Amino acid sequence: MSKRVAFLFPGQASQKVGMGRDLVDAFPEAAAVFEAAREVLGFDLPKLCFEGPMDELTETRNAQPAILLHSLAVATVLRERLGGFVPEFVAGHSLGEFSATAAVGSLSADDALRVVRRRGELMWDAGQKVPGTMAAVMGLDPAAIAGALEGVDAGRVVLANLNSTAQSVISGDVEAVEAAIEPLKAAGARRVMPLNVSGAFHSPLMEVVQGDFARFLEDISFADPGAQVVKNVTAKPCRSGDELREGFVEQLVSPVRWHESVAWMVDEGVSTFVEVGPGSVLTTMGARSFPNAEFIATSDVEGTEKVLALLRERG
């Protein structure tokens, strides 16, 4: 490829009823990925993706493998129809980091499904043991958000997702997140929007299940990836399977440094970012933050065909 390309993989909240049905109908490679998931997980995840209901699909334990399944189906189509093409860089938003790791050969597709299913179960369990919530903060940079949070004494509340210079997510105890709303608005936030989540993801409240997840990952094989995986925790790349495993454990309680991750790839000369999976959240966010780079979504057949044509042309 004459221009540097990175694949981006979306995280939770990108799920929707009907996801992947058109891909399965259009691409035999995608159909094979979806079909394999039934046996791996022991229940009909493809049917849940195609038919819902939405409330069941949105459950953390289901949404995470569903989004990963869609992402891996698209990634498989792109790889096989582009003669084994793997981009130089990949990154995934929270859950999406598992999709990215599987897409470049560090995790098998079967293991990736098992891992994110267990991750979703544990994250839901953490929310039951230590109730927490999250809220999106618009129109305020991360440094100003951190400053506003310092004055909140109603419990633990931290920056969880640093998505862009103008959009972040806070996470923590229910009372602390609620208490942070007014200080954030006083600091200049345009809007603070509570999120419908089952727990305080990417915060210290997830420590109650961190050990269980680490033990689960001990039995999972991680090969060194076939591309540079830009990690959420550090916003820097790694090429070691062991480092990826360790990062996934740390990721549970650490912020997703997404804006920094994309900025690092831009500085490395990446000019085209392909969002591999359902929705277009990362494409929309990236286009606003990095107007000189190209962002393309592959959430449906049309988007996937567009990316195939583009990368073939640049061959």
Q: Is the domain of 93 the same as that of 15?
A: yes
Provide the residue range defining the domain that includes 186: 132-198
How does residue 202 score in pLDDT terms, banded at 50, 70 and 90?
very high
Whole-angstrom distance, CA of residue 272 vs CA of residue 3: 8
Same domain for 115 and 146:
no
- Same domain for 177 and 217, yes or no, is no
Given pLDDT bands bounded at 50, 70 and 90, which one contains residue 44?
A: very high
Strands (DSSP E) found in the chain: 4-9, 89-92, 132-138, 157-164, 167-173, 191-195, 228-230, 237-238, 270-275, 294-297
84 and 149 part of one domain: no
CATH number for the domain including 146?
3.30.70.250
CA 59 to chain centre: 16
Is residue 64 domain-shared with residue 95, that is, in the same domain? Answer: yes
- In three-state secondary structure terms, 273 is strand
Quick check: is 202 catalytic? yes
Write out pLDDT tens, residues 52-62.
999 999 999 99
- Do residues 179 and 296 both lie within one domain? no
Asked if residue 191 and residue 117 are part of one domain, the reply reads no
Q: Judge whether residue 2 has pLDDT over 80.
A: no
Active-site position among 14, 70, 93, 94: 94
Choose the final residue of a domain: 198, 226, 241.
198
Count of domains forming the chain: 2
> Is pLDDT at 208 greater than 80 in this prediction?
yes
Same domain, 249 and 262: yes
- Residues 211-224, mean pLDDT to the nearest whole number: 97
**Which one of 147, 173, 198 terminates a domain?**
198
pLDDT of residue 239: 85
On whether both 26 and 83 belong to a single domain, the answer is: yes
Task: Return the SS3 of 256.
Answer: strand
- Residue after which a domain boundary falls, among 173, 198, 223: 198
Catalytic residue among 70, 93, 202, 259: 202
My answer on whether 62 and 166 are in the same domain is no
Question: Which band of pLDDT confidence, cut at 50, 70 and 90, is reported for residue 140?
Answer: very high
**Contact predicate 276/78, CB 8 Å:** yes
Q: Give the whole-angstrom CA distance, residue 90 versus residue 5.
A: 9
CATH of the domain at 83: 3.40.366.10
3-state helix, strand, coil in the chain (%, to 5): 50, 15, 30
Mean pLDDT for all residues in the chain: 96
Tens digits of residue pLDDT in 279-314: 999 999 999 999 999 999 999 999 999 999 999 998
